[in-house]
A and B are shown apart, each in its own frame.
Chain A
Amino acid sequence: GQNIDQPTEMTATEGAIVQINCTYQTSGFNGLFWYQQHAGEAPTFLSYNVLDGLEEKGRFSSFLSRSKGYSYLLLKELQMKDSASYLCAVREGDSNYQLIWGAGTKLIIKP
């Protein structure tokens, strides 16, 4: 079956580093997306991985291991504004609508 697992909630301290994990079991794989979503707002695209390895983009990095069905989002130098939900989504096929979404990880940043 199709399944994406993320921790429900995580807490971290301002200025620290946090890693949000995502494991997936899908019938196909054509890329993995990370989105950030503040409460009551729309998801904002953060990163895309389709090949194994680490993609770095400023304070955010995303890693993918296709053989393990595993990805993580690494957030460095945490800021209070990073408090949000982080959604992992796998594109199963060629079409962009074929996204399987995780339930999201709510990240709480404490001073």
Chain B
Amino acid sequence: DTEVTQTPKHLVMGMTNKKSLKCEQHMGHRAMYWYKQKAKKPPELMFVYSYEKLSINESVPSRFSPECPNSSLLNLHLHALQPEDSALYLCASSTRLAGGTDTQYFGPGTRLTVL
């Protein structure tokens, strides 16, 4: 099973709303990632978790708040977003953070629209 799942598939929210994106994997991976992808652009790394601890925050605005409640789950809490935050949000996981031929496996993404 090389599946990463994400919910919801689509999300429309106003600038004053609070919402959360969810990501789950049951491959025993201990590194999980959030990416943001705009149309016709490559994914941009936002956050990295390793063994449920935040390892990397790529200077992401505080209106995005990640959370890793356990080794299988990764959340992204959204609050007071701007229209320019509209994008495809991708979750990925890998066996661990470093080394070898490790590959990131991506979830299907959440298409977020901020009105």
Chain A residues with CB under 8 Å of chain B are 31, 33, 35, 40-45, 48, 50, 87, 89, 94-97, 99, 101-104
In the complex, the chain B residue whose C-beta lies closest to that of A85 is B40
Interface residues of B in 92-107 (CB under 8 A from A): 94, 96-99, 101-107
Count, A-B residue pairs, CB within 8 A: 54
Tally of contact residues, B, Cβ under 8 A:
27
15 more CB-based (< 8 A) A-B contacts, given A48-B103, A97-B56, A103-B42 = A41-B108, A41-B109, A42-B109, A43-B43, A48-B101, A94-B99, A96-B31, A96-B94, A96-B102, A97-B45, A97-B48, A101-B42, A103-B41, A104-B40, A104-B42
Q: Are A42 and B40 in contact (CB under 8 A)?
A: no
Chain B, residue nearest A47 (CB): B103
Bound Cα distance A95, B31 (Å): 10
Q: Would you call the interface of chain A mostly helix, strand, loop, or mixed?
A: loop
Task: Tell me whether B45 and A95 are in contact (CB under 8 A).
Answer: no
B111 contact set on A, CB distance < 8 A:
40
Tell me whether B90 is interfacial, beta carbon within 8 Å.
Answer: yes
Question: Within 8 Å CB of B97, what residues of A?
Answer: 95-97
Contacts of A94 in B (CB 8 A): 98-99
> What are the nearest 10 A-B pairs in CB distance?
A101-B42, A42-B106, A94-B98, A95-B98, A97-B48, A96-B94, A42-B109, A42-B108, A43-B106, A45-B103
